[in-house]
């Protein structure tokens, strides 16, 4: 959407150095930008691309203004300011309220007049869909769910039942919310399924990535607080609680009944065992697995970086001889 630099500066609250009437209609990296695109510089590693950029304007820090050959939008946090401007330059495609002829809505469900249900959407009994919410094609929202306003289900999302979602949530394709937790009791005749009878409670401004699964509680709810961001292919097990503004990168797995604090960051392939508590402001490094309570904010790690395979094999052999080494040192000490 064509928008002037002046409008962008005012909307996002940046100082503009340049012509407020210049119009941009796309975003691009510094290197690929054209005179119609907005770009940004937030990381020092791209600073060398600034002098040669052909962008209409660049969002950057005050310190970088002198090196900027084009209009500058000055921000203390250029990445966040760029994010806000990009949403203005390239808004989500508009939709018309209503529903596709193939959508199937249960009699007792209620769908806001301003919402949109795409092709092959199925809405279950007693479920409500809020204003301006867009439910993409193939999405199934089961019984007794409540979805507040301005949510977006991209396509082929499944909410099983008893899922309550706040405002402005974004749910990517293949997301499953409210599936049964993994509850089984061993008996002499094999496993007996433990009925999973709770629901899922999701706050405002939550985004969940493609093919991530969030199980319902066994008894009581699984809870994801306001502003949480979860990437693709993550697993949130039954009765997990995730605090406000925590973010989890792809393939993170949080086992049952774990309680995760606010503003935590879980890097890719990380996770926790069940029934642990992780306090606020904890960073868990990639591939790291939390096995007991974390009570102090900070960064936690436990993974080994890839090594040349031959060198790794030698290292593994040394590791296995650790007991022997300790014995030898003991002997020397005597």
Choose between 64 and 225: whose C-beta lies nearer to a second copy: 225
Site for a second copy in 295-334 (CB under 8 A): 298-310, 312-316, 318-323, 325-326, 328-329, 332-333
Cβ atoms of 285 and 304 closer than 8 Å: no
Q: Which of 46, 100, 172, 238 is catalytic?
A: 238
Number of residues that bind a second copy (CB under 8 A): 122
Beta carbon of residue 136, minimum distance to a second copy (angstroms, whole number): 7
Give Cα 37 distance to the centre of its chain: 27
Q: How far apart, in whole angstroms, are the C-alpha atoms of residue 154 and residue 134?
A: 8
The answer for 203, left when phi > 0, alpha when psi is -120 to 50, beta otherwise, is: beta
Site for a second copy in 154-193 (CB under 8 A): 154-156, 158, 160, 170, 172-174, 176, 179-180, 182-187, 190-193
CA dihedral 6→11→15→21, nearest 10 degrees, is 0
Choose between 67 and 247: whose C-beta lies nearer to a second copy: 247
**Pairing state between β 190-193 and 282-284:** unpaired
Please, which residues bridge with residue 60 across strands?
74
What's the DSSP call for residue 180? P
Choose between 97 and 194: whose C-beta lies nearer to a second copy: 194
Residue 80 binding a second copy, by CB under 8 A: yes
Identify the CA nearest to 91 among candidates 6, 152, 1, 171: 1
Beta carbon of residue 285, minimum distance to a second copy (angstroms, whole number): 6
245 is annotated as an active-site residue: no
Q: Which one among 210, 277, 279, 281 touches a second copy, defined by CB under 8 A?
A: 210
Choose between 19 and 292: whose C-beta lies nearer to a second copy: 292
Residues 230-269, mask of contacts with a second copy (x by CB under 8 A): -xxx-x-x------xx-x-xxx-x-x------------xx
In degrees, rounded to 5, the angle at the alpha carbon of residue 144 between the alpha carbons of residues 106 and 246 is 130
Please, which residues bridge with residue 271 across strands?
253, 289
Q: Which one among 229, 277, 280, 281 touches a second copy, defined by CB under 8 A?
A: 229
Choose between 58 and 235: whose C-beta lies nearer to a second copy: 235
Q: What's phi and psi for 48, nearest 5 deg? A: -70, -15
Residues 94-113, mask of contacts with a second copy (x by CB under 8 A): ------x-x-x---------
Q: Which one among 13, 93, 107, 113 touches a second copy, defined by CB under 8 A?
A: 93
Positive/negative CA dihedral, 35, 36, 38, 39: negative
Cβ atoms of 225 and 262 closer than 8 Å: yes
Residues forming the active site:
238
């Amino acid at each position: 959407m064509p928008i002037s630099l002046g409008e962008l500066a005012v909307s996002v609250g940046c100082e503009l150095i340049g012509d407020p009437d210049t119009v941009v209609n796309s975003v691009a990296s510094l290197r690929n930008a054209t005179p119609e695109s907005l770009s940004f510089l937030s990381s020092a590693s791209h600073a060398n691309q600034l002098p040669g950029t052909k962008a209409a304007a660049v969002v950057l820090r005050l310190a970088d203004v002198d090196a900027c050959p084009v209009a500058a939008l000055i921000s203390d946090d250029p990445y966040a300011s760029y994010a806000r401007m990009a949403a203005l330059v390239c808004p989500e495609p508009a939709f018309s309220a209503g529903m596709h002829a193939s959508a199937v809505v249960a009699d007792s469900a209620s769908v806001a007049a301003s919402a949109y249900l795409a092709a092959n959407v199925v809405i279950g009994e007693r479920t409500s869909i809020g204003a301006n919410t867009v439910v993409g094609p193939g999405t199934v929202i089961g019984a007794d769910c409540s979805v507040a306003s301005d949510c977006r289900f991209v396509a082929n999302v499944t909410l099983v039942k008893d899922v309550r979602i706040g405002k402005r949530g974004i749910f990517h394709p293949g997301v499953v919310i409210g599936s049964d937790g993994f509850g089984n009791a061993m008996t002499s005749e094999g496993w007996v399924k433990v009925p999973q009878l709770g629901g899922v409670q999701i706050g405002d401004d939550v985004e969940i990535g493609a093919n991530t699964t969030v199980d319902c509680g066994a008894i009581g709810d699984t809870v994801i607080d306001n502003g949480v961001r979860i990437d693709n292919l993550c697993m949130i097990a039954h009765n997990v609680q995730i605090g406000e503004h925590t973010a989890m990168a792809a393939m993170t797995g949080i086992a049952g009944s774990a309680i995760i604090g606010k503003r935590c960051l879980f890097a890719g392939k990380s996770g926790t065992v069940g029934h642990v508590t992780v306090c606020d402001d904890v960073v868990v490094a990639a591939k790291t697995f939390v096995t007991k309570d974390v009570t102090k904010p900070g960064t936690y790690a436990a993974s080994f970086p890839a090594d040349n395979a031959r060198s790794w094999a030698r290292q593994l052999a040394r590791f296995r001889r650790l007991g022997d080494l300790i014995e030898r040192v003991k002997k020397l000490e005597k």
